Every structure is written in C-alpha cells, then in structure tokens.
Chains A and B, each alone.
Chain A
Amino acid sequence: MLESLYKRKKTSRFDVLFYIVMGIFVILGLRLFAMQVLEGGYYQAKAEGNRLRMVPMTAARGVMYDRNGQILVGSRPAYTISIMPNGKPLDEDELAKLAKLLNKKPEDIQKKVNDHKHGYEPIRIANDISMDVVTSIEEHRHELPGVSIDVEPLRYYPYETMAAQLFGYVGEVSEEELAEIKAQNPNTTVGAGSILGRAGLEKLYDSVLRGIDGGKQLEVDASGRPVAEVDRKHTVPGSNIHLTIDVNVQKAAEEAVKKQLDILRSSGATGAAVVALDPNTGAVLAMVSAPEFNPNWFAKGITNTQWNQLNNDKNHPFENKVIAGEYPPGSPFKIVTGTAALDLKKVTPDEMIFDSGKHWLIDKRNAEGEALGWLNFNQALAKSDNVYFYEMGNRLGIENIDLYARYFGLGEKTGINLVGEAAGNVASPEYKRKVFDQDWYLGETFDAAIGQSFHLATPLQMAVLLSQVANGGIRYQPYVVSRVDNPDGTPAEIFGPKNLGVLPVPKNIMDLIREGLRDVTNEGGTAGALFKGFPIAVAGKTGTAENAHGRDHGWFVAYAPYDKPQIVVVALVEQGGFGAGSAGPIVRDILSAYFKVPDATKKTTDTKKSNTKNNQQNIKPSVKE
C-alpha cells in the first residue's frame, strides 16, 4: 500500500519533469520557427546589409578639346582613400593612425564620417594621395582594416587656372543635392560620390560629360575589410566636347593678362576680361577673366583655406567677366555713334569740325582737356576725339544712338551658350524714366555718344560689335562649343555659325569706319605708339571708360588683319586707366601670338642667349611675311 503510494508519487513527479523539459523544447522550437521560417526574410536582409557594400566607381568625365584637338580639360588617375563603414563607430586607434598617415586632424576625418550617416557606401576621406602616403598606408594595411585605397579618375585641368570660369569646376554631390536629384528623377544615374559639374561648361554640359558611374558590390567582414567582389557594374565614360578655343591663343591671352595685371595691380587694376573671336563665324578663340581660380583645387577637394581665399576675394574670381561683367563701353562706342552719323547723313566723312577743347553748347571736354583743332571723321575716330562725337550725338539725338546701338546687338544677350550672361544696357530716356523717373538732358546724349551715360556692355558684346565691323555687318552668335560627341566618339551635335542679323548699313560707310579704326593703330592714332612696327595691319579702338565706382576702365578692341579679318580681340582692364596703356598691350600680345609675330621682349631675351646677328636674320623674313 505504502509502496504503491510511493510509486504514484514518483510517477507523477517524473511526468511533471518530463512535461517541463518538453515545454522548454517546444518553446525553443517555436522561437526557432518564428525567427527562421516566419521572419527569415527580415533577418536575411539584415545579414545582407551586414556583409554587402556597394562601392561606387566614378566614371571618367568627358574630355574638353580645343579646336585643334588639344586636351584642355581631362582626367588623370588618382589614389583616393575611403573608409568602409561597418555599422559601428570608428575605431579610435584606426582613426588616429589614419589621420597621422594622411597628415590630417582626426576630428576632420571623424566629421566626414559623421556627416555620412546614411548607407554603407564608402566614405571618401582624401583625394589624390601621393604615392608615398599610399605606400605607407599599404604598409599599415593590417592595422587599418576598414580603409580602402582606390584608383579613381580625377578631373584634371592641365593648364591649371586657364579659362577657369569658362571651363568651370566639379565637385562631389552632397547628400542634400543627391536627395533633391533623386526626388526630381528617380532613375537618375547620379549616386553617392558622383562628381557633378559645378560651374561653367562643366555644369552646362554635365549630363554629356559625366558618364554613368559604375560600382562593385563587395563582401566585407565585420571590420569592414573587403573579402570578395560579388558583382560589378562597369562605368560608362562621359562623352567628349570640342571647343572653339585655340589653346595657343588662350595661353597667349592668359600670359598677356597676367603680365599686364602684374604691372597695373599696384596702380589699382582689379581684374581683366579678354575675349578673342573669329569674326567670320563667331567662334570664341580665347576667353580670359581675371582674377581666376584653380579648378584643380575643387577636383581634389578644396580646403577651407583655399575656399576662403577665393570666396573673400572682392574681385570675384568666379565671375566670368567676359560674359557677366557689364562696363561702360567708353570710346569704342564711338563706332556706333560714327556709323549712325554717317549712315543717317548727319555728317559727311570730309566735314571738318573744330575741337577747341570743349563743345560749344555744353561745356564737355576731352578726357585730358586737350584741344585737337580741325578734324574730319577719320581723324576724329583715330584720335578718339570726344568733342567731335559730342557733336555727332547732338546731331543724331539719343533715339538714333539707341537704334544703332541695338543694330550692333548692344543691350541684349548675345545668346552664347554659357550660363550667367549679362545683357548690358543701352542708354535711353525711357530707361532713365523707368529707373530714376527723371527727364533726359542733352548732356546725357553727349555722354551716350561717347559710350558713357547709362550704356553698359559686356566684353563679349563689344567683340560681337567689332566682329560686325570686321565682317561687313553680319552679327554672328558667339559660340564656344563646336561639337558634342556620342559615347563612341562620333559627333552627336555640331554647332556652327549662327546669323542673328545683318547691320543695315551700306558697305561704303562701314569702309569709312574700318579706315578710321585702321588709323587708330597708325602713327597719330591713339594706339599708334603701341602698334609701331607691328607687321600686321590692325584695326582697333582704345577706350578709357569713366567708372562711377573707381578708376577708369581701360578698353582695347581690335581686329586683324585689317583687310581680311581673322580675329577680333577685346580686352578690358578693370580700373586699369588708359585703354591704350592697360588693355592695348594685352591685345597686341595676343595678336602677336596669333600671327606668330616675334615678340619684342622675347627677341631681347633670345639675343642674350644666342648670336644676335643670326637671330635678327632669322626674324626679318618672318616680319616681312
């Protein structure tokens, strides 16, 4: 009896124990089922996120060629250092080591990593690392598991600051921009780390130049070290564009501007703009705006010091003064006034007008107060006599000046395919009424006749104006991109001359203007001294434009050869003073380079090196040509 009681008790306790064990295993089994069968997909995605990293590969941007196929803007291979995020905070040791090797502050690297919160894409820490640093990082590879070294095409501007505002610059897309781009176009090929054009042609032709970034899918271990490549999407390089720029003319223009600004900076010159056009097509041969910047700084990732230096420069290094700078046109505007006066028969070429130093109706004088006496049209233009042209203004009236200024394309954008072009302004009573709500005075007509008053023009507009004089009156739209390629190198789009209108002025009148301009560079003209001995016949016009904000701006506009124009060059030196002295030498140097005229200064340096006689013998025939 006792025994059976004991037995029952024993049995039930073992049963309980068994059911407890059973219960534990059922719970474990159910939990397994829930995690692996029901929620398996969720955990699978997490595991994939752990191990897979998409590493973008930047496509090489398209090349910009000059008109002769020289590379103006290209790419070169560069080492970049990235950190592969592994979902954990950065290891302090690793950070300190990397910072030391890269000669950077750990905080700066930490900041870059912190800024890059989303996603598992590698974070680019440094661009364009020198071979030494790459080697030392390679040596410490095992201590830096999450650091990867990649070779990426880096945008490269071989001529450094050349035409910086025209070419523009590039930069890595920011997270905010990326979000915006993706919101606008969900199918965009722009991804994290993509390089975008930021200014100039880089920006305007970004979609052509950029190409399609690729990427490789890497498997990484827990420390972020890549273990294997899982998949790869190849990059599609960007397409090339061909510019109308002639690198030799551009180089000469850059050098001339630099030389001249070095001389004039001490006397207050703040910048310069130079443009050279082919007057027969409107193709831009050179475009310089100073001060400039070095787009390579941006390609490598600009430092704070560099950025502050550029950003705090009050002379606006980012502004393309050729298209965006609006200046009073000054004396070169006398071409407009003169054309109008002759065309409307307000004066005959032979009529002599007496310059007593001031106009007889209103006391307005020549710039330096000089009196040039009796002058015909040709002399007045060559010597840039203000009194003569005050009288032309007096005879024409502001409406006619206005009309002809617009015939020449002033007051409206040339329509060149660049961003940020300014329209300038043509002085008119309507303009004054609108802006200042004041009446128009005759004195202002006088000022307008010599390119002052409310006239404003960009150097490019002046180049177009002079092109019309040079080519007989056709207003070509200036253009700087002649061809856009397909990815395979075949032309996708070709740009040529575009006729915007013809100046309604007979040839004989244009001849008179051209002759006047020709005499500017002859002895007795305002640029006679400058072009003394120059082997090519140059037609030009000096200008010293009064500037309400500082010293006078110096203009020089010219085309050559006089009889068969091939090139128009316009130079403006901001606050450079006399046009003949400031802008003139720039134009002369460019023309020298274009026509391969031996430079006077170069000759002396050459003679120092070699036999004087030989040299002169070598040069003389070419001068005759």
Chain B
Amino acid sequence: MLQRIWRDCDWTIITCTLLLVAIGVVAIGSATHINQTGLHFSTLVAKQLIFFVINVALVIAIQFLDYHKLKDWANGIYILTILMLLAVIFVGTSALGAQRWIQLGPITIQPSEFSKLLMIICMAKMLESRFNKLDTFKSLIVPVLYVGFPILLVFMQPDLGTSLVYMAIFIGMLFISGIRLRLIRIIATVGVFLMPLAWFILKDYQKKRILVFMNPDIDPFGSGYHIIQSKIAIGSGTIFGKGLFNGTQSQLNFLPENHTDFIFSVIGEELGFIGCIIVLILLFMLIYRSIKVAYTCNDRFGMLLATGIGSMLCFEVLVNAGMTMGIMPVTGIPLPFISYGVSALTTNMISIGILLNISMQRTKYIF
C-alpha cells in the first residue's frame, strides 16, 4: 500500500508544497525577528511548524481514504459549515473590525478558512449532478441559493475577502461544469452594472480600503500606510533582495502584519525579485497541477474538487500578492502555504491531500 502511494503520488505537488511551506516558515521567522538576540524563539514559527507536522500526517492519512466518500458526507458537511459560520457570528472574537475567530483552547481557529474547502466539497457534490445541464437561468437558481447562503454568512462576519474567494471558487467550478457561456456573459454584464450598488452594503472600513487602494496617499498614515510600506519593501528588494533577516522595512517594523497578510512583502524585500519569482513559480506549478489533476480525472466529482482547489489557490495568490504590490485592494486573504495562520495552513494542506488522493486514484484506474 505504502509502496503504491510512494510510486503513484504526484511528486510535483509534494515538492512544491514542501518548498512553499519551508520558504513560509523562514519568512515568518524573519518577520517575527527570530534572529535577533534578546528575543525568545518565535512561538509563531513553532506553531506553524507543529501544525505543518500534524498536517503532513493528515495528508498521509487522507491517502488511505477514498475521496468519493466525501460525496456521501457532503450534506452533513454543508450543515456543519453553516453552523460553524453562525458560531463565528455569535461567539467569535473580533480583530481589526472583523469577527473571524473562535477560541478553541490554546489556539484560535478561523472557520471561514476551513469553510472554503468544505464548500468546495459541497459545491462539487451539488454541481456533479448538474454537469452540462446549466444552460438556463432557472437551472442556476438552486446552485446560487446553495452557495449564496454561506457567502452571505461570511460576508456578515464581515469577511469580504473570503466571500470573494467563495465566489471565485464557485465561478471556476461553474465554468468547468459546462455552464453556458451566454449565461456567464449576461451575469457578468449585469454584475458590472450592479457593482456600484455593492458600495452601499460595504462597511465603512471596507469602503475606505477601496478608496485607499485607488490612491494610498489619501491616508498615508492610516489605511494607506500598509500599501505604501509594502510597496517600498518589495520595490527596495530589487533583484537579489537585502538578504534574509536584513530587510529594513520588515525588521524595523515599518511593515505591519508582515508575518500574515504581508509575508510576500518580506520575501520581496529580503529575497528580491528572484525569491518572489521562485515563490510565484512554485504556486503556479501547484495550481497548474491541480488543473491537470482535474483535467485527467475520470469522474466529475474529483474533477470539480480539483478545479475548486485550483481556483481557490489561484484567487488567493492573485489577491494577496496583488495587494502587497498595490494592484489589489487590502483584504485579509493570506498567501497560501506561506502566510502565518494555522487554519489557512491546515485548509491548504488538506486540499493538497485531497488533490493527491484524486491524482492517485486516477492513476489506479488507468493502469
């Protein structure tokens, strides 16, 4: 059994994941001044590493299961997800104007992170039966309501970023599910015209983020500060970077939240263009592999699962890296595998586990 796993598993995915987590842990160490004397060993690095080890075990464990079982559990997972998101709204702790965390013993978990993967499973189940049948608006009603409810709950936390990730996943999976392109065109056109209305349901801090994104200089010491300092960090890294632990922007705290949302800026500053491009290539390889897994998968459920995972990772990379470079507004979306955050790491690792599982079963059927 183990031998079979060893032989059949997708080594590209594993290598990329390991390298990304390794780069992430080093970057978190740098961002939390792990190298400076007088500072205790960074508990964040330790936490991230401990959870990585646990996650590796999880990933291996997943290989002994059949991802098709998830299909049977999907309804339960859907209810669990809804309950979890409701729990956040009622018992969660808030930070930075958003209520996203649930305290669970020594760790705080961020249910919206897990909910992304859980929703991919639910959507895959839901869309599998509608594959190639999505050619009227009527056929879209149930899927939209099915996905819309959790999106609304996440949006109410409020977590605009995660609700956007849901949408990205949903659109990606709808697309692969063979939705009629005419429907997409109509929805996109209407969406563009409805966009201004969205302004009225945004919270003040969200509106400000968007305004500041347009022009960071309107609030250089407030919400524009992140963007300005992040751009300085990345830009000043130039081609080769200032060297690990030598980034002045991150080491001297000019860059806030640099171990979570702005970890890419730390990499940009300390490892330069070369480091950033390596990270982007690794992420691209992962996403490419997930599309490939989806493409080569023989059953629609696995195909949709892999597509969902690929869409999630791709959208997160776009929003997070784009944000650090000032081409995307600031949202609390982490960079997959690299940002500190055990909920996000666990979610992404389990996603990789599922991807590996799908890719391996495909092989099994072929040979």
Binding site for B on A (CB under 8 A): 6, 9-11, 13-14, 16-18, 20-22, 24-25, 27-29, 31-33, 35-37, 39-44, 46-48, 50-51, 87-89, 219-223, 227
CA of A43 to CA of B325, assembled, Å = 12
Decide: A220 and B252 in contact? CB cutoff 8 A.
Answer: yes
Binding site for A on B (CB under 8 A): 132, 172, 175-176, 178, 221, 229, 231-239, 248-249, 252-254, 268-269, 272-273, 276-277, 280, 283-284, 287-288, 291, 294-295, 307, 310, 314, 317-318, 321-322, 325, 327
CA of A25 to CA of B287, assembled, Å = 11
Q: Which 3 A-B pairs have the closest CB atoms?
A: A43-B235, A40-B238, A47-B236
Q: A9-B178, A17-B291, A21-B291 are in contact. Are A36 and B238 (CB under 8 A)?
A: yes
Residue in chain B with minimal CB distance to A14: B295
Chain B residues whose CB sits within 8 angstroms of the CB of A6 once the complex forms? 132
Chain A residues whose CB sits within 8 angstroms of the CB of B327 once the complex forms? 27, 31
Residue in chain B with minimal CB distance to A89: B221
Q: A24-B318, A28-B280, A28-B322 are in contact. Are A51 and B252 (CB under 8 A)?
A: yes
Residue in chain B with minimal CB distance to A32: B276
Q: A43-B232, A47-B249 are in contact. Are A28 and B317 (CB under 8 A)?
A: yes
Decide: B273 and A36 in contact? CB cutoff 8 A.
Answer: yes
Distance (Å) between the CB of A24 and the closest chain B CB? 5
Can you show 12 pairs from A to B with CB atoms below 8 A apart?
Answer: A10-B295, A14-B294, A21-B310, A27-B327, A32-B234, A32-B325, A43-B231, A47-B249, A50-B248, A50-B252, A221-B254, A222-B253
CA of A607 to CA of B276, assembled, Å = 92
Decide: B253 and A221 in contact? CB cutoff 8 A.
Answer: yes
Distance (Å) between the CB of A45 and the closest chain B CB? 8
Chain A residues whose CB sits within 8 angstroms of the CB of B235 once the complex forms? 35-36, 39-40, 42-44, 46-47
Decide: B317 and A50 in contact? CB cutoff 8 A.
Answer: no
Residue in chain B with minimal CB distance to A45: B236
> Among the listed B254, B268, B269, B291, which residue makes an inter-chain contact with A32, where contact means beta carbons less than 8 Å apart?
B268
CA of A145 to CA of B235, assembled, Å = 27
Decide: B232 and A47 in contact? CB cutoff 8 A.
Answer: yes
Decide: A35 and B291 in contact? CB cutoff 8 A.
Answer: no
CA of A42 to CA of B318, assembled, Å = 25
Decide: B236 and A40 in contact? CB cutoff 8 A.
Answer: yes
Most buried by A among B234, B236, B238, B318: B236
> Among the listed B239, B249, B318, which residue makes an inter-chain contact with A28, where contact means beta carbons less than 8 Å apart?
B318
Q: Knowing that A14-B291, A40-B236 touch, tell me 16 more A-B residue pairs with CB under 8 angstroms.
A: A10-B178, A14-B176, A25-B280, A29-B280, A32-B325, A35-B235, A35-B325, A36-B235, A36-B237, A40-B238, A42-B235, A44-B238, A46-B232, A51-B252, A88-B221, A220-B252
Chain A residues whose CB sits within 8 angstroms of the CB of B283 once the complex forms? 25
CA of A46 to CA of B249, assembled, Å = 10
Chain B residues whose CB sits within 8 angstroms of the CB of A47 once the complex forms? 232-233, 235-236, 248-249, 254, 269
CA of A199 to CA of B206, assembled, Å = 59
Residue in chain A with minimal CB distance to B253: A222
Distance (Å) between the CB of B228 and the closest chain A CB? 9
Decide: A32 and B273 in contact? CB cutoff 8 A.
Answer: yes
Chain A residues whose CB sits within 8 angstroms of the CB of B236 once the complex forms? 40, 43-44, 46-48
Interface of B is mostly: helix
Chain A residues whose CB sits within 8 angstroms of the CB of B221 once the complex forms? 87-89
Decide: B234 and A21 in contact? CB cutoff 8 A.
Answer: no
> Among the listed A24, A25, A222, which residue makes an inter-chain contact with B254, where contact means beta carbons less than 8 Å apart?
A222
Residue in chain B with minimal CB distance to A227: B252
Chain B residues whose CB sits within 8 angstroms of the CB of A89 once the complex forms? 221
> Among the listed A18, A39, A48, which residue makes an inter-chain contact with B291, where contact means beta carbons less than 8 Å apart?
A18
Distance (Å) between the CB of B208 and the closest chain A CB? 18
Residue in chain A with minimal CB distance to B295: A14
Distance (Å) between the CB of A88 and the closest chain B CB? 5
CA of A527 to CA of B88, assembled, Å = 103
Chain B residues whose CB sits within 8 angstroms of the CB of A9 once the complex forms? 178
CA of A435 to CA of B176, assembled, Å = 105
CA of A24 to CA of B328, assembled, Å = 12
Chain A residues whose CB sits within 8 angstroms of the CB of B318 once the complex forms? 24, 28
Decide: A17 and B307 in contact? CB cutoff 8 A.
Answer: yes
CA of A6 to CA of B172, assembled, Å = 18
CA of A264 to CA of B288, assembled, Å = 101
Decide: A36 and B276 in contact? CB cutoff 8 A.
Answer: yes
Chain B residues whose CB sits within 8 angstroms of the CB of A17 once the complex forms? 172, 175-176, 291, 307, 310
Chain B residues whose CB sits within 8 angstroms of the CB of A29 once the complex forms? 277, 280
Decide: B234 and A43 in contact? CB cutoff 8 A.
Answer: yes
Chain B residues whose CB sits within 8 angstroms of the CB of A50 once the complex forms? 229, 232, 248-249, 252, 254
Distance (Å) between the CB of B259 and the closest chain A CB? 15
Chain B residues whose CB sits within 8 angstroms of the CB of A46 once the complex forms? 232, 235-236
CA of A36 to CA of B221, assembled, Å = 23
Chain A residues whose CB sits within 8 angstroms of the CB of B172 once the complex forms? 17
Decide: A221 and B321 in contact? CB cutoff 8 A.
Answer: no
Decide: A36 and B272 in contact? CB cutoff 8 A.
Answer: yes
Distance (Å) between the CB of A101 and the closest chain B CB? 25
Residue in chain A with minimal CB distance to B225: A88
Decide: A40 and B237 in contact? CB cutoff 8 A.
Answer: yes
CA of A227 to CA of B252, assembled, Å = 8
Residue in chain A with minimal CB distance to B294: A14
CA of A28 to CA of B326, assembled, Å = 11
Q: A13-B178, A21-B288 are in contact. Are A36 and B280 (CB under 8 A)?
A: no
Chain A residues whose CB sits within 8 angstroms of the CB of B231 once the complex forms? 35, 43
CA of A10 to CA of B295, assembled, Å = 8
Chain B residues whose CB sits within 8 angstroms of the CB of A11 once the complex forms? 295
Distance (Å) between the CB of B120 and the closest chain A CB? 15
Distance (Å) between the CB of A197 and the closest chain B CB? 39
Distance (Å) between the CB of B212 and the closest chain A CB? 16
Decide: A28 and B232 in contact? CB cutoff 8 A.
Answer: no
Most buried by A among B178, B253, B254, B268: B254
CA of A297 to CA of B98, assembled, Å = 55
Most buried by B among A42, A222, A223: A222
Q: A17-B176, A40-B237 are in contact. Are A221 and B317 (CB under 8 A)?
A: no
Distance (Å) between the CB of A580 and the closest chain B CB? 72
Most buried by B among A32, A51, A222: A32
Distance (Å) between the CB of B159 and the closest chain A CB? 22
Q: A17-B307, A29-B280 are in contact. Are A223 and B176 (CB under 8 A)?
A: no
CA of A381 to CA of B229, assembled, Å = 86
Residue in chain A with minimal CB distance to B178: A9
Most buried by A among B132, B172, B294, B325: B325
Chain B residues whose CB sits within 8 angstroms of the CB of A51 once the complex forms? 248-249, 252, 254
Distance (Å) between the CB of B111 and the closest chain A CB? 27
Most buried by B among A39, A41, A43, A220: A43
Chain B residues whose CB sits within 8 angstroms of the CB of A33 once the complex forms? 273
Distance (Å) between the CB of A35 and the closest chain B CB? 4
Chain A residues whose CB sits within 8 angstroms of the CB of B268 once the complex forms? 32, 35-36
Residue in chain B with minimal CB distance to A18: B291
Q: A25-B284, A47-B249 are in contact. Are A16 and B175 (CB under 8 A)?
A: yes
Q: A24-B318, A28-B325, A43-B232 are in contact. Are A13 and B239 (CB under 8 A)?
A: no
